[in-house]
Homo-oligomer: A and B are copies of this chain.
Amino acid sequence: MNGALRGFDRLYGLELVSFSDTEVRAQVTVRDELKQPAGLVHGGVYASVAESIASLATALAVLENGDMAMGMANSTSFLRPVTEGVVHAHATRLHRGRTTWVWDVRFSDDRDRTCAVTRMTIAVRPRPDGQPARLP
């Protein structure tokens, strides 16, 4: 599953753990390249993971209708810094509409403390070519 990841997801190191159209688990292993100047995991990493897993789960679900999915709004709150170990992400779907899906993503550290939360809105639109997509 992770062999298919490329581009930015590969750059920062997204690892998918499990996957459905209502729930996704993923993780990122902390390394210095993911930190901001004070030594904490950069806030953009959380936002990136939320964007990727919510978009991917939505995209896979809607492509059989000839639709595509893309991030529309990403609202992330940072609650507790992470400096080492693994950042765990758990996305749950809040809403499945015709034109938007909404997901909540909770990020936790290795002690299962909530470190950040994202509300992610994904737009669902007809694919320009109207064809079912190849899997990413």
Q: Does A121 contact B (CB under 8 A)?
A: yes
How many monomers of this chain does the complex have? 4
Q: Does A1 contact B (CB under 8 A)?
A: no
Are B44 and A75 neighbours in the complex by a CB distance under 8 Å? no
Are A71 and B43 neighbours in the complex by a CB distance under 8 Å? yes
Q: How far is the CB of A133 from chain B (nearest CB, A)?
A: 9
The chain B residue with its CB closest to the CB of A50 is B44
Q: How far is the CB of A114 from chain B (nearest CB, A)?
A: 6
A123 contact set on B, CB distance < 8 A: 99-100
A40 contact set on B, CB distance < 8 A: 70
Q: Which one of B38, B48, B104 lies within 8 Å of A42 (CB-CB)?
A: B48
Instruction: Name 11 extra pairs, CB < 8 A, besides A36-B51, A47-B76, A104-B117.
Output: A7-B37, A8-B12, A11-B34, A12-B44, A38-B70, A44-B47, A47-B48, A77-B95, A80-B95, A94-B117, A117-B119
